Structure 1
Amino acid sequence: MSLTWRLLRGGGRRGMLSTWLTLGAVVISTGLLLFAVSANVAFSGRADRGAWRNPVQATGQPVAIEAGRIDYVGDRQITVVDLASLGPKAQPPPGMARFPAPGETWLSPALAELARKLPGDQLAGRFSDVTGVLGEAALVHPEELVAVVGHERDAPAMTVSRGDSLRGDISPTKVDSLAGVPSEDAEGYRILALIASVLMVVPLLVFGGAAARLTVARRDQRLAALRLVGATPGQVVRMTVAEAMIVAFAGAVLGTVLYGLAVPLLTRIRIGGGPWFASDLLPGPLVVLGVLVAVPVLVGLSAVVGLRRVVVSPLGVAKRETPPGMRAVRLVALLAVLAVVPMLGTSASVGVVAVVLGLAFLCINLVGPWAVGLIGRITAKRAKRPAKLLAGRRLMDDPRSAWRTVSGVALTGFVAGFLGLLSPGDALAGHVASEQLRLTAPNTAAVADQARERLAKAGVKATVKTEKNLVVTDVRTADLDRARTALDGLVPGRSATSEADDQRFTGQLLDDIATGTIVVLSVSFLVAIASSGITAASSVLDRRQTYALLRLAGTPLEVLDRARRSETLIPLVVMGGGSIAVGVFCASPFMMTSPNVSGAIMLAVCVVVGFAGVVGAGALSRPLLRAVTDDPAPRPD
């Protein structure tokens, strides 16, 4: 440890720059890893908080009756929960100090605030005797509109079947407790969150592991020198692990702090109808501890993996011999995983899908260096200019280092290909009229007469007619909320809704999928661009002696720079296109509609942004290239 710390501190200005590059990679990986993990936990927290509204039929002595319905104000959904106590053992729902008495109404903070802002005949008139405000434990998100209404056990609202479960209505149910179970919608969001986490976490783990191998040539030279002067293989391994884990632990702590500072901004991401509570996205102590342990361990293991050459043949490293090439068996692993993909489908369990996607990710990362080496051989054979020849030989000599520069964008291409094909088009939501309110009623003629009276009393001009079991009211869009308020309670347990209201959940789901896609791709692009920039700078530092000697031999700086760009862009084009194709192939079994225009546009944007990001990040290392070639007497560390 003492020698490791001395070498870490005494590496000189450029040696410290190498350490800072590794530290920066770990900071980014840790922060985004915490976000991916916390997002999963956050969706589970939402599902658990909303479970009390999804009652379970009593198996013993029931203590309460629970029912629910969906109402609307403007384009926002209101969840109305009707409760009636069956005895003194009834416990209050989460977020309420006591069980609501008959006639009492408790509102969520957002609904109470909205009721105060809007005219009474648009919203507040639907709720009588507002008694209290629901706490955070009762709400899925801070802006959720929820009302809890107390009733007598024999009230019509607690005895009449509601029947329209597809739009969120829940018939009166006798329950043992108000614990409930997560709804199918909440479970669906959790499945989507798990898949999104896999799409984010695997590239992060690859990036985090690559952080340990930044400036690998410099470290190999130093450790090989120590082996040649008498250090044992065990000492070399311990020094490498110690150096990597010291830097990784510092980066993990800093990344955790930065993530905590970013939480207030992340809570503004709107999914599932609203933003997030900060407590949802703040990781628990066990999660933080797990990340602070896992990240340094991952980096330490990745550092050890690259030590085989140093331990076995330190003289070969010191002489800068080219390592043996990789075998095509890496490609067999990817083909084996892809062979399983057609067997999947919408009936496959989320666990199986997540495992297959994760394996596809890892296999792309496994095949990448081998493919880059093959690309290098082809490039070198067909090179007609010095820059292309230098680029091809570099790709052949160290394909792992070249792959690390483009791996982020290649893995992002897989994500873009997968999501681009699955993203549903806007046409699925449809466009329906909202000027017609419909109310399900057992006695349509009598209810229609009462509806006319209520609307006339409220000053709403409307045409009321009957269709089978429906009372249909044609009303101006500007009067919709006044008409909803006037008709509220006309049929116990029923709300007057329009076709547009009934389509809002589908529209929200499509919006949430689009938002989730943007979030996943944003994380992937951030990883890709950061990976490209950091590894490009690290590559220049690794080869500063070679660059400086070439410069002294008369190679123009522009040729060196073109060679550096070519060894990034050539594998990027091939591997980026290949990973997109693999992503599209993995998504094909889950398609329920034909590919949409927006998905194709998203793929095109991904390609453009990915290339621009890598080129821009690589350009940042040009000044560093100039600096290392200005050294008139280059020496190894």
Structure 2
Amino acid sequence: MSTFALWRLFHRTSFVGARQSQNDGVRDHTGLLAIIAFASATAIFLTVLGGLHGFIWRASPDRTAACFFNASHCTAHLPVSENGDFYVTLAIFACVLLIVPFTALAGSAARLAATRRDERLAALRLAGATTSQVTRLTAFEAVGQAVIGAIIGIAGYFAIMPLIMLLNFENQRFTFEQLWVGPWALLGTVAGVAVLALVSALLTLRRVAITPLGVSARQGSALPSGWRAVIFVAAIVIGFMLLNNLNMFAGAGTVVVYGMIFAIIGGCFLLLNLIGSWVITAVARARSRRPKNAATMIAMRRILDNPKRAWRNVSGIALAVFIAGITSVCGIFATVDGGDPESAMMMHDIALGGMLTLLFAAVLAAVSSGIMQSASVFDQADEYHMLILEGTDARTLRRARFSEVLTPLNTVIIISAGCSMFLMLPLIGSAISEPAMLIRFVLGIALCYALVSIGAISANRTAAHLDTISRRRDD
């Protein structure tokens, strides 16, 4: 049987039976969510890449990246931006920061599609499909969703571009030529998204390929150990000491100092992924010992069942809060009247770039969180349905789902905000208590919180739809 014929069988309503027939709308909904996630990630990635290209264009004598990084490749010597190297460095730093939420979102999309695919793949294996047939089918569907989403994301990139052209950097606006990344970058992005989706989908086949009944066996994840906290605290303390003694490296040049600042802040952020699931586990354990109500008990047990999943639901917010702290500091410096127009311009541009990075990171994190929450709803549908049959009311389950999201969210915001301010302290000193800076910081956190809450509400609506389907099936 060809892969296309198997794909048609895979999507036939009658193949899985009455239960699958009732879930067809939900299945299509998950496919649509995956496409939206791929589209969002692609659009924002290309927009940020376009900004980097714009700064390189301004700093390159012949308007090419090859000339900027290697003077021997220059074919012309046009006027360039005086601070071009500095702006390119900041743009690269922003791109590096956004790689984490971008890959998390694309991975979430692939994981969501795979979550709903496992049961049907297992049914195909029981019906006689071979491992190679299931593998080809998975690759076909995963790549198809990724490519469709990436193409929509390219359209989103063109839609966002005019808005970016309204912003002033270096006292001038970007042009289309500066923000245009070129056809090869578009093709490379589509291919990259497709490969990421393919790898994520094939990794989920291990359960189905080993045995068709593998998807029925659910095991809790191993709880993280406390050594993660020791490593994280040590790294934060070392980072603080280095930032507090940057004058020791002043002789190495401004670029080296800025590079060290970015490396220390970025490295400490990356270590949040090491400690995140451990802290969430500790909080859930503490709350599960003395739960206030049934909803809290259910939520904490769900978190302890898979703390890594709980962390993935809100991990993107950690970066957004980190960026919110950096942006609030830059905003303070941008408002200081130093009498130097060039310095004022640079501080203004850094603050504006930080706000854009915060916005992009928050949107990526919110979409990723919504996707992951929806995937969790589908994973837990049978368990919540059993709770309903045992007499648990729908209101309690809704509160449990919110608590399952908000508990890790509150935890990660506290940790990220505290670490961000702690690392900023050596750089800004007493300015950390400035009301304007604190207001900017709080507003950035509020933006992240609001966007993730929207995802939680959407996931609860999906869960309500699943509950309705379950009741109809039992009738």
Identify the TM-score tier after normalising by the shorter chain.
Answer: 0.7 to 0.9
Which residue number in structure 2 is paired with residue 599 of structure 1? 437
Once the two structures are superposed, residues 23-70 of structure 1 have per-residue CA deviations (whole angstroms, 9 ceiling, x without a partner) of: 11110000000011111111010122699xxxxxxxxxxxxxxxxxxx
Which residue number in structure 2 is paired with residue 510 of structure 1? 347
Which residue number in structure 1 is paired with residue 287 of structure 2? 379
- Pick aligned residue for 1:287 from 185, 189, 202: 185
Contact 1:210 / 1:302 at 8 angstroms: preserved in 2?
Answer: no
Once the two structures are superposed, residues 559-605 of structure 1 have per-residue CA deviations (whole angstroms, 9 ceiling, x without a partner) of: 01000100011111111211223333454565588434433222111
Kindly tell me: are residues 588 and 409 of structure 1, through their superposed partners in 2, closer, same or farther at Cα, counting changes over 3 Å?
Answer: same
Provide the rounded CA distance (Å) in 2 between the counterparts of 1:286 and 1:369.
38
Kindly tell me: are residues 320 and 50 of structure 1, through their superposed partners in 2, closer, same or farther at Cα, counting changes over 3 Å?
Answer: closer
Kindly tell me: are residues 230 and 50 of structure 1, through their superposed partners in 2, closer, same or farther at Cα, counting changes over 3 Å?
Answer: closer
Give the Å deviation of 1:202. 2.3
- Pick aligned residue for 1:611 from 441, 449, 459: 449
Contact 2:47 / 2:157 at 8 angstroms: preserved in 1?
Answer: yes
Provide the rounded CA distance (Å) in 1 between the counterparts of 2:468 and 2:373.
18
Which residue number in structure 1 is paired with residue 107 of structure 2? 209
Which residue number in structure 1 is paired with residue 299 of structure 2? 391
Once the two structures are superposed, residues 248-304 of structure 1 have per-residue CA deviations (whole angstroms, 9 ceiling, x without a partner) of: 111011101221132122211211102110111122122112111111112222333
Contact 1:14 / 1:541 at 8 angstroms: preserved in 2?
Answer: no
Kindly tell me: are residues 244 and 367 of structure 1, through their superposed partners in 2, closer, same or farther at Cα, counting changes over 3 Å?
Answer: farther
Once the two structures are superposed, residues 471-515 of structure 1 have per-residue CA deviations (whole angstroms, 9 ceiling, x without a partner) of: xxxxxxxxxxxxxxxxxxxxxxxxxxxxx6xx3222222221221
Give the Å deviation of 1:373. 3.7
Give the Å deviation of 1:336. 7.1
Which residue number in structure 1 is paired with residue 327 of structure 2? 419
- Pick aligned residue for 2:412 from 575, 598, 608: 575
Write out aligned runs for 1:69-218 (5 A). 179=77, 182-214=80-112, 216-218=114-116
Q: Would you tell me which structure has more strand in proportion to its own residues?
A: 1
Can you give the 5+ residue segments of structure 2 that lack an aligned partner in the other structure? 14-19, 64-74, 247-253
Q: Tell me the SS of whatever aligns to 1:555.
A: coil
- Pick aligned residue for 2:200 from 290, 298, 302: 302
Contact 2:323 / 2:354 at 8 angstroms: preserved in 1?
Answer: no
- Pick aligned residue for 1:23 from 2, 18, 35: 35
Q: Does 1:246 align with 2:144?
A: yes
Contact 1:422 / 1:591 at 8 angstroms: preserved in 2?
Answer: no
Kindly tell me: are residues 313 and 237 of structure 1, through their superposed partners in 2, closer, same or farther at Cα, counting changes over 3 Å?
Answer: same
Kindly tell me: are residues 231 and 21 of structure 1, through their superposed partners in 2, closer, same or farther at Cα, counting changes over 3 Å?
Answer: same
- Pick aligned residue for 1:39 from 28, 32, 51: 51
Provide the rounded CA distance (Å) in 2 between the counterparts of 1:19 and 1:366.
31
Q: Tell me the SS of whatever aligns to 2:365.
A: helix
Once the two structures are superposed, residues 525-553 of structure 1 have per-residue CA deviations (whole angstroms, 9 ceiling, x without a partner) of: 21222223333333323333333332232
Contact 2:317 / 2:365 at 8 angstroms: preserved in 1?
Answer: yes
Contact 1:23 / 1:248 at 8 angstroms: preserved in 2?
Answer: yes
Contact 1:26 / 1:248 at 8 angstroms: preserved in 2?
Answer: yes
Give the Å deviation of 1:368. 3.3
Provide the rounded CA distance (Å) in 1 between the counterparts of 2:267 and 2:364.
19
Which residue number in structure 1 is paired with residue 170 of structure 2? 272
Give the Å deviation of 1:395. 0.7
Kindly tell me: are residues 221 and 358 of structure 1, through their superposed partners in 2, closer, same or farther at Cα, counting changes over 3 Å?
Answer: farther
Kindly tell me: are residues 507 and 323 of structure 1, through their superposed partners in 2, closer, same or farther at Cα, counting changes over 3 Å?
Answer: closer
Write out aligned runs for 1:315-464 (5 A). 315-327=213-225, 334=232, 338=236, 341=239, 342-343=241-242, 345=246, 348=256, 359-426=267-334, 428-430=336-338
Once the two structures are superposed, residues 194-213 of structure 1 have per-residue CA deviations (whole angstroms, 9 ceiling, x without a partner) of: 22222223212222222211
- Pick aligned residue for 2:26 from 1, 14, 20: 14
- Pick aligned residue for 1:621 from 455, 459, 464: 459
Q: Does 1:630 align with 2:438?
A: no
Aligned letter for 1:300?
L
Which residue number in structure 1 is paired with residue 161 of structure 2? 263
Provide the rounded CA distance (Å) in 1 between the counterparts of 2:417 and 2:104.
18
Q: What's the Cα RMSD here?
A: 3.3
Contact 2:150 / 2:190 at 8 angstroms: preserved in 1?
Answer: yes
Q: Does 1:541 align with 2:449?
A: no
Give the Å deviation of 1:611. 2.0
Contact 2:49 / 2:95 at 8 angstroms: preserved in 1?
Answer: yes
Once the two structures are superposed, residues 143-185 of structure 1 have per-residue CA deviations (whole angstroms, 9 ceiling, x without a partner) of: xxxxxxxxxxxxxxxxxxxxxxxxxxxxxxxxxx982674541
Can you give the 5+ residue segments of structure 1 that lack an aligned partner in the other structure? 52-176, 431-499
- Number of aligned positions between the proteins: 440
Aligned letter for 2:327?
L
Give the Å deviation of 1:370. 4.3
Kindly tell me: are residues 4 and 586 of structure 1, through their superposed partners in 2, closer, same or farther at Cα, counting changes over 3 Å?
Answer: farther
Provide the rounded CA distance (Å) in 2 between the counterparts of 1:419 and 1:589.
16
Aligned letter for 1:44?
I
Give the Å deviation of 1:608. 2.0
Give the Å deviation of 1:236. 4.6
Provide the rounded CA distance (Å) in 2 between the counterparts of 1:377 and 1:634.
36
Which residue number in structure 1 is paired with residue 400 of structure 2? 563
Compare 412-421 and 219-228 and name the one that shifted more: 219-228
Give the Å deviation of 1:247. 0.7
Contact 2:326 / 2:420 at 8 angstroms: preserved in 1?
Answer: yes
Aligned letter for 1:609?
L
Compare 560-569 and 404-413 and name the one that shifted more: 404-413
Give the Å deviation of 1:328. 5.2
Kindly tell me: are residues 205 and 347 of structure 1, through their superposed partners in 2, closer, same or farther at Cα, counting changes over 3 Å?
Answer: same
Give the Å deviation of 1:319. 3.5
Kindly tell me: are residues 366 and 549 of structure 1, through their superposed partners in 2, closer, same or farther at Cα, counting changes over 3 Å?
Answer: same
Aligned letter for 2:379?
D
Contact 1:545 / 1:635 at 8 angstroms: preserved in 2?
Answer: no
Kindly tell me: are residues 361 and 7 of structure 1, through their superposed partners in 2, closer, same or farther at Cα, counting changes over 3 Å?
Answer: farther
Give the Å deviation of 1:355. 5.6
Aligned letter for 1:207?
L
The percent identity for this pair of structures is 31
Which residue number in structure 2 is paired with residue 526 of structure 1? 363
Write out aligned runs for 1:59-74 (5 A). none
Aligned letter for 2:47?
F
Which of the two has higher C-alpha Rg? Answer: 1
Q: Tell me the SS of whatever aligns to 2:406.
A: helix
Aligned letter for 2:468?
D
Once the two structures are superposed, residues 78-129 of structure 1 have per-residue CA deviations (whole angstroms, 9 ceiling, x without a partner) of: xxxxxxxxxxxxxxxxxxxxxxxxxxxxxxxxxxxxxxxxxxxxxxxxxxxx
Which residue number in structure 1 is paired with residue 67 of structure 2? none
Aligned letter for 1:382?
R
Give the Å deviation of 1:391. 0.2
Provide the rounded CA distance (Å) in 2 between the counterparts of 1:298 and 1:229.
29
| TM-score between the two structures when normalised by the length of structure 1 | 0.62
Contact 2:34 / 2:109 at 8 angstroms: preserved in 1?
Answer: yes
Q: Would you tell me which structure has more helix in proportion to its own residues?
A: 2
Kindly tell me: are residues 587 and 227 of structure 1, through their superposed partners in 2, closer, same or farther at Cα, counting changes over 3 Å?
Answer: farther
Kindly tell me: are residues 427 and 275 of structure 1, through their superposed partners in 2, closer, same or farther at Cα, counting changes over 3 Å?
Answer: closer
Kindly tell me: are residues 178 and 553 of structure 1, through their superposed partners in 2, closer, same or farther at Cα, counting changes over 3 Å?
Answer: closer
